[in-house]
A and B are shown apart, each in its own frame.
Chain A
Amino acid sequence: MDINFTPEDEAFRAEVRDFIEKNQPQHLKGVRRGEYRNKEDFLVWHRILYKKGWLVPSWPAPYGTNWTPTQKYIWNEENARAETPALLPFGLSMVGPVIYTFGTEEQKAKYIPGILSGDVWWCQGYSEPGAGSDLASLKTTAVREGDHYIVNGQKTWTTLAQFADWIFVLARTDKNAKAQEGISFLLVDMKTPGITVKPIITMDGGHEVNEVWFDNVKVPVENRIHEENKGWTCAKFLLSHERAGIAGVARSKRAISRLKDMLAMEVVDGEKLIDDPDFERKIAELEIDLTALEYTELRTLASEQSGKGPGLESSILKVKGTEIQQRITELVMEGVGYYSLPYSDPLAHNEFAPGPAYAEGTTQNYANMRKTSIYGGSNEIQRNIIAKMVLGL
C-alpha cells in the first residue's frame, strides 16, 4: 500500500498542468453546462484533447493512453482544478466502449473515428415513459423486415438529443422472450425519417433532456451491435461504465473549494460566513465524506487495473458521489442567503442578475442536481443491486 506520488508522477502532473493552462478554453472555465451558448461549447475541449491524444485515457489500445491509474487520477484532478469543460459521456464513456467491446471490425472502423473526433454527437435511447428504474420493461420494438429493423416507440430523458447526430437504442426484437432476453442494441442515425425530438423543460428552466419518438424508423440490420436479442449484455456493460465515472470526486473537490471561496466573501454579523461554526461543521462533514469516497474510488481503480473491471462497487460510487454533489449545491444555496431567490434565465445571458456573480442560479442548480439520485439507475436501484449482488440478500 502506497499513496505517495513518485517523482515521475509529479513530472506528469507538471506536464498536464502546463498543457491545460495553455490550451483550455478560457471562456468556459467554471461555466455550468446549462449556460453553454452553442453546440461547439460542448465540443471545444473534446477536440483539443483529441488532437493531443489525451481524449480517452481509459480506452484500451490502440485508442487510449498507457497511463497508470495514478496518472489518470492526476489527470482528473488537474482538469477539475482548472475547471475545464466536462466531456460529454455519450460517445466516450457509453457507446464507444460498447462498440470497441462488442462491435465488429467494420463497426469499429465506421463509428469510432467520429466518436473520437467529436464530429458525431451521440445520445442515449434507454429510458422510456414506462421503463425507468425497470429498464428491461422497455416497449420500443424493432421488427425485422429484410435487411432492416422497423423501430417504433418512445424514449425519454434523452440528454442533449437536440444536438445529436446518432442515438443508441435498446429495442425489443423478441416479444416472446423474457424481459431481458429479447432486447437488441441498435445504432440509429437521427436524420432517419420518422424520428421526432421533443424538448422537456426541467424545473430549473433548462432544456437538457428530451423525448425521442420513433415512428416506423428504418434501421439497417448492420447497425446492430452484438447478436440479436443480446442487447441487454451491452446495456449492463454500459451501465456499469456509466456508474464508474459518476462519482465525480475531483469535480466535487473543486466545487467545495469554490464553495469555501464563496463563504469567505459572504458575511454574517460582520464576520466571514466560512468562520461560522455551523458552516465550518457542515463543510468538514462534506470534506470527510468526499475523502472517504476518494479512497473508495482509488480502491476501485486499483482493482480495475488488476483486470477485474468496474465491479459492483461502482454502485457505491454512484450513491455516495451523487449525495455529495447534491449536498454541495445545497450548501452553496444556503451560503448565498437571500440571493438564492432570484431566478436566472439560463438562456438570457445579458439579463440583469442581482447579487454577487457566484450567487446566480444557485437554487436552480440545487434543483437541477436532484436528477443525479434519479438518473443512471436511481439510488434506490443502486442499493438494491448492492443488497442483492454484494450482500446476497
Chain B
Amino acid sequence: MDFSFTEEQNLLRNSVQKFVQNAYDFETRRKVSKSDAGWRKEIYGQLAEMGLLGVAVPEDFGGLGGSAVDSMIIAEEFGRALVIEPWLNNAVIATGFLKAAGSNAQKEELLGGIAAGETIFAFAYAEPQGRFNLADLTTTATKSGDGYVLNGTKAVVLGAPFANKLIVSARTSGGQRDADGVTLFVVDKSAKGVSTRDYPTVDGNRASEVSFDNVSVGADAVIGEVGKALPVIELVSDQAIAALTAEATGAMKVLNDTTIEYAKTRKQFGTPIGKFQVLQHRMVDMFMNYEQSVSIAYMVTLKLEEEAAERKKAASAAKVQIGKAGRFIGQSAVQIHGGMGMTDELNVGHYFKRLTMIDTLFGNVDHHLKRYASLS
C-alpha cells in the first residue's frame, strides 16, 4: 500500500501551484469573473502550453498520457485557486468521452485540439425535467439520410459561453427515461439551429441555456455506439465527480486554513476567538471533514478503472462525502468569520459558493445516497 506521490507528480503539483500563484491571485480572479468575457483565453492557452489540458490525452494524440492521479492533483490545486477556465470540461469530460468511446478519426481530429486549447468543449446533458437522471432526455436526434437532426433544450450548460463545440446527449430511441436509446453527438456551437443564452453562475463562472432547432449533424458526429451511450455518460460523469472531489478538497483546505488564521488573530472579549472551546471544536470538525474528503478523493481516483458497479459506488460515496463536508465547512467558515465571512470582499464567501455549487453538479447528496444504496 502506498499513498505517496511520484517525483513527477510532485513536480506537476509544484508547477501548477506556481502557475496559479502568479496568474490567479484572488483579486485578479474577481475582476476576470466580472468582466464581459468572464474568463482569460490567454490563461487557457497557458494551461495548454503546460500540458494541463492534455494531461489525460494519450501521447500519440499530443497529450501527456497522464493518470487519474495526475488529474486529481491538478483539480485540487485549481480548487485552491477557484480557477474559472474550463479545464474540467475539456481535460476530464471531453477527453474522457473521446478516450472511452471516440472513433480513431474523432480522436485524431479532436484530442490534439483539446490538448492545444483550440478545441473547447462544453457538455450539454442536463434538462429541466431531468434533475440528476442522466437518461431523462427530451432532446431528440432523429435519423435523416446518413446523419441526424437534433431538437431540444439543454439546461445550465457550464462553460458553454467559452466553448466552440458541444457534446450533446440526445434520445435516438426508446422512452424518455429508458437506459437504452441514448446517443452522444459532437455539435459545433456555431452550427445552424444552435442557439445559446449566456448568463453568470453564483460561483463566478458562466453557463448557457442551449437550444437545438433542427440541427443537422453527420453520422460521424456520433460518439460511440448509437443508443448505447448511457454507460459511457455514467463513466465520464464519475470521472468528473472524481475531479470535482479533488477540486472540493482544495477549496476546503483554503477555507480551513483561512478560518484558523482568522480565529488566531481576531480578538473579542480580550482574547483570540480561537481560544473559545466551542469554536475550537467546530474547527476540529472542519479539519476532520477535510481529511475524510481527501481520503475519499484518493479512493475514488484509484477506483475509476474498476468495473462499473465498483466505480459507481466509489463516485457516489465521494459525492456524498464532499457534499456534506463542503456544506459543513462552508457554513462554519462563514460563521466563524462573522460578518466578514458574509462579504464579497473576502475570499471566504467565494469558496463557500463554489462548494455549494459543487454539491449540485452531477447529482447532490440525496441523489448519490440513493445511487450508492441501489448498488449495495
Name A's B-contacting residues (CB within 8 A). Answer: 127, 130-134, 137, 156-157, 200-203, 205, 209, 266-270, 273, 276, 278-279, 333-334, 337-343, 351-355, 363-364, 366-367, 370-371, 373-375, 378-380, 383
Bound-state CA distance A348–B132 (Å) is 30
Contacting A203 at CB < 8 Å: which of B177, B344, B364?
B344
Asked if B339 and A374 make an inter-chain contact with CB atoms under 8 angstroms apart, the answer reads yes
Contact of A342 among B131, B199, B369 (CB under 8 A): B199
Residues of A within 8 A of B106 (CB): none
Do B207 and A156 touch (CB < 8 A)?
A: no
- Smallest Cβ-Cβ distance to A378: which chain B residue: B338
Which of B8-16, B84-92, B351-359 is found at the contact surface with chain A? Answer: B351-359
Say yes or no: B360 contacts A338, CB within 8 Å: yes
Q: Would you give the shortest CB distance from A66 to chain B, in whole angstroms?
A: 39
In the bound complex, residues from chain B placing their C-beta under 8 Å from that of A127 are 339
Is A339 touching B352 in the complex (CB atoms < 8 A)? no
Of all chain A residues, which has the CB nearest B176? A270
A343 x B202 contact (CB < 8 A): yes
Q: Are B136 and A373 in contact (CB under 8 A)?
A: no
Contact A341 B357 (CB under 8 A): yes
Chain A residue at smallest Cβ distance from B331: A370
Given contacts A340-B360, A342-B202, A374-B338, contact A203 B268 (CB under 8 A): no
Residue contact B357 to A371, C-beta cutoff 8 Å: no
Q: Does B339 contact A157, Cβ atoms closer than 8 Å?
A: yes
Query: Which single member of B276, B345, B364 contacts A201 (CB below 8 Å)?
Result: B345
Which A residues lie within 8 Å of B349 (CB)? 202-203, 367
Told that A269-B133, A354-B209 touch, could you supply 10 new A-B pairs with CB distance under 8 A?
A131-B268, A132-B339, A156-B339, A201-B345, A209-B339, A273-B131, A278-B370, A334-B366, A341-B202, A370-B341
Query: Residue among B132, B199, B331, B369 with the most chain A CB within 10 A?
Result: B199
Q: What mask results when residues 323 to 351 of chain B are scored 1 for a CB within 8 Å of chain A, else 0?
A: 00000000100110011011111000110
Cβ < 8 Å to A, chain B residues 124-159: 126, 128-129, 131-133, 136, 155-156, 158
**Complex Cα gap A133–B276 (Å):** 13
- Indicate if the CB atoms of B278 and A268 lie closer than 8 Å: no
Residue pair A367, B356 in contact (C-beta under 8 Å): yes
In the complex the two chains form, is A202's CB within 8 Å of B356's CB? no
Task: Tell me the smallest distance from the CB of A211 to a CB of chain B, in Å.
Answer: 11
Q: At the interface, yes or no: B197 with Cβ under 8 Å from chain A?
A: yes
Q: List 24 A-B contacts (CB under 8 A).
A: A132-B268, A156-B339, A157-B339, A203-B342, A203-B343, A203-B344, A203-B350, A268-B131, A268-B132, A278-B366, A278-B369, A278-B370, A337-B132, A341-B203, A353-B199, A354-B199, A354-B209, A355-B156, A366-B356, A367-B353, A371-B342, A374-B335, A374-B342, A383-B278
- Asked if B279 lies at the interface with its beta carbon under 8 angstroms from chain A, I say yes
The complex places the Cα of A352 from the Cα of B207 at a distance, in Å, of 12
Task: State in angstroms the CA–CA spacing of A209 and B342 once bound together.
Answer: 10
Separation of A278 and B373 alpha carbons in the complex (Å): 13
Residues of B within 8 A of A351 (CB): 199
Task: Find the A residue at minimum CB distance from B127.
Answer: A338
In contact, B156 and A137 (Cβ under 8 angstroms) = no
Inter-subunit contact B268/A201 (CB<8 Å): no
Chain A residue numbers with a CB within 8 Å of B352 are 203, 367, 370
Give the nearest-CB partner of A157 in chain B: B339
CB distance from B124 to the nearest CB of A (A): 12
- Would you call B3 an interface residue if the criterion is a C-beta within 8 Å of the partner chain's C-beta atoms? no
> Is B45's CB within 8 Å of the partner chain A?
no
Distance of A326 from chain B, by nearest CB (Å): 8
B343 and A202 form a contact (CB under 8 A): yes
Q: What's the Cα separation between A322 and B160 when bound, in Å?
A: 38
Q: How far apart are B70's CB and chain A's nearest CB, in angstroms?
A: 28
CB closest chain-A residue, reference B336? A380
Cα separation A386 to B170 with both chains bound (whole Å): 58
Which of A130, A157, A355 meets B128, CB within 8 Å?
A: A355
Q: How many Å from the CB of A263 to the closest CB on chain B?
A: 12
Determine whether the beta carbon of B131 is less than 8 Å from that of A202: no
Are B131 and A373 in contact, CB atoms less than 8 angstroms apart? Answer: no
Partner of B201, one of A200, A270, A342: A342
A370 to B356, CA, bound (A): 13
Please name all residues of chain A whose beta carbon is closer than 8 Å to the beta carbon of B207 when the two chains form the complex: 341-342
- Contact status A338-B156, CB under 8 Å: yes
A-chain residues with CB within 8 Å of residue B360 when the two chains form the complex: 337-338, 340-341
Measured in the bound complex, the distance between the Cα atoms of B201 and A70 in whole Å is 45
Which residues on the B side are within 8 Å of A202 (C-beta)? 342-344, 349
Nearest-CB residue, chain A, relative to B279: A380
B65 within 8 A of A: no
| Chain B hits for A157, CB < 8 A | 339
Closest to B363 in A: A337
Q: Which residues of A contact B335 (CB under 8 A)?
A: 370, 373-374, 378-379
Contact B344 A205 (CB under 8 A): yes
A354 to B207, CA, bound (A): 10
Whole-angstrom CA separation of A137 from B273 in the bound complex: 14
State the CA gap A337–B129 with chains docked (Å): 10
Is A137 a contact of B268 with CB atoms below 8 Å? yes
| Complex alpha-carbon distance, A202 and B353, angstroms | 12
Give B155's nearest chain A residue, CB to CB. A338
Determine which of A269, A354, A373, A375 lies in contact with B155 in the assembled complex, contact meaning CB atoms within 8 Å: A354
Q: How far is the CB of B13 from chain A (nearest CB, A)?
A: 29
Closest Cβ of chain A to B352, distance in Å, is 7
The verdict on B62 contacting chain A, using a C-beta distance below 8 Å, is no
Distance of B196 from chain A, by nearest CB (Å): 11
Query: What is the CB-to-nearest-CB distance from A262 to chain B, in angstroms, rounded to a whole number?
Result: 13
Also in contact, A133 and B268, with CB within 8 A (given A370-B334, A378-B338, A380-B279): yes
List residues of chain A with CB within 8 A of the CB of B155.
Answer: 338-339, 354-355
Instruction: Enumerate the 7 nearest inter-chain pairs by beta-carbon distance, A residue then B residue, closest first.
Output: A203-B349, A134-B268, A338-B156, A343-B200, A201-B344, A363-B202, A278-B366
A325 to B307 alpha-carbon distance, docked (Å) = 44
- Which residues of chain A have C-beta atoms less than 8 A from B344's C-beta? 201-203, 205
Q: Taking the nearest CB of chain A, how far is it from the CB of B263, in angstroms?
A: 12
Residues of B within 8 A of A209 (CB): 339
Residues of B within 8 A of A334 (CB): 364, 366
Q: Which residues from chain A contact B331 at a C-beta distance below 8 Å?
A: 370
Q: Given contacts A203-B353, A338-B155, A370-B334, is CB(A269)–CB(B136) below 8 Å?
A: yes
Nearest A residue to B364, CB-CB: A334
Answer whether A352 and B199 are a contact pair too, CB < 8 Å, given A337-B360, A366-B356.
yes
- When C-beta atoms are compared, the residue in chain A nearest to B271 turns out to be A134
- Note all chain B residues with C-beta closer than 8 A to A276: 366
Of A278, A279, A364, chain B has the most CB atoms within 10 Å of the CB of A278
Q: Which of B201, B279, B341 contacts A341 (CB 8 A)?
A: B201
Q: Which residues of B are found within 8 Å of A130, using beta-carbon distances?
A: 267
B334 CB to closest chain A CB, in angstroms? Answer: 5
